[in-house]
Structure 1
């Protein structure tokens, strides 16, 4: 890391990859762009760091020893303290099925190796801006589900029993694939339920849906 003092506007990134050369190159480039970067060799090391550090964004490889990226993201999404953190997957696997799996696991962005450093920075900045908009909307706190602005929906919104179950799992940070497994239905069915609830509530995304569920005590 740089020795110069970090100001309050400096965004903290957690970079997780088992390739030391990639770590070195990406860390140098991101720090040159003004970010503060902490590194980890695998998912298990990353979770240890996350116990006492809360970065603004996680950049993570998928195939790693000890704990892969899928499991890391799953653990992050299940922890309400850090579940809001945007995750950017880096992977050599570029097939559509790989991208879909990565995004369904809970990643926000899927970037295929090799990539241009400029593209990585653009994706990082885009993810951070999106996260900041959500924080601003929740009253300036990442814990906006419990404090800050209340999320408003039409007064006549009613959910079916299945939709209630789905939104409870969404509030717990589970991906559609995981919800489908728990309810023993297809992932497409879960996606349809989420879409219906977004239409009913006039909310914009799963994050707002989850916060609304928590604020209204729909989530356990």
Structure 2
């Protein structure tokens, strides 16, 4: 499977000033087959990028010396790194925080605390999307691009509620509990929306929902 291939070959850069979170996430991802490099803030992470280019960056937002926003700006300005998928982890979960994170260059915005399996799913989806983009457009493609969806897409009222929750970073299990339906029903709605929009994953659905001000 493509996702398994990604975990066998992918080096990730994890940036966070919380040593306990770094230890837990690093151990979990390494058990899933990833190679994980760590840094405690954006400034240290830039030094890492001078020597090693990972396949994806996982970054906290609020950090000393250089926060996530300043770090991502540097990454996007560098032609050697501007294509890298970036996943923000943050304790700040308001919609304005999510919008700020995505608009400043992150591809995914997840709120702490998060489900480890959801983190892995987002990583795999981002890696696969980046791989497809490089194959189609070359290796220097920036990953912080707007998604393109047909203008005449119509969502049912339930699909609109589901995509709003997806954009808020809720896992399928949480959405199912909120709507009092099965997780399989939520997965079906997500699959239907992917088919209607031509998008590839929940990350792209979330970005589209935010760009279209559905939330």
TM-score above 0.5: yes
How far off is 1:64 after superposition? Answer: 0.3
Aligned to 1:18: 17
Give runs of aligned pairs for residues 75-114 of structure 1, distance below 5 A: 75-114=74-113
Structure 1 counterpart SS, 2:14: strand
Structure 1 counterpart SS, 2:51: coil
Q: Distance in 1 between matches of 2:54 and 2:80?
A: 11
Q: Distance in 2 between matches of 1:134 and 1:12?
A: 18
Give runs of aligned pairs for residues 128-147 of structure 1, distance below 5 A: 128-138=127-137, 141-143=138-140
Aligned to 2:32: 33
CA contact (8 A) 2:7 2:34 kept: no
Q: Distance in 2 between matches of 1:76 and 1:130?
A: 18
Give runs of aligned pairs for residues 115-134 of structure 1, distance below 5 A: 115-134=114-133
Change in 2 beyond 3 A, CA 1:8/1:37: closer
How far off is 1:142 after superposition? Answer: 1.2
Could you report, residue by residue, the CA deviation over 1:50-88 in whole angstroms, capped at 9, with x for unpaired residues? 011110000000000010000000000000110000000
Q: Distance in 2 between matches of 1:8 and 1:116?
A: 18
Q: Distance in 2 between matches of 1:45 and 1:56?
A: 18
Runs of 4+ aligned structure 1 residues displaced above 4 Å come to none
Aligned to 2:175: none
Q: Distance in 1 between matches of 2:139 and 2:54?
A: 12
Q: Distance in 2 between matches of 1:9 and 1:60?
A: 21
CA contact (8 A) 2:7 2:33 kept: no
Tell whether 2:57 aligns with 1:51: no
Could you report, residue by residue, the CA deviation over 1:127-156 in whole angstroms, capped at 9, with x for unpaired residues? 001000011113xx514x7xxxxxxxxxxx
How far off is 1:9 after superposition? Answer: 4.5
CA contact (8 A) 2:76 2:105 kept: yes
Q: Distance in 1 between matches of 2:115 and 2:9?
A: 23
TM-score in terms of structure 1 length: 0.61
Structure 1 counterpart SS, 2:70: helix
- 5+ residue gaps in structure 1? 1-6, 146-172, 177-190, 205-220
Q: Distance in 1 between matches of 2:134 and 2:99?
A: 26
Instruction: Mark the structure with the bigger radius of gyration.
Output: 1
Select the structure that is richer in helix.
Answer: 2
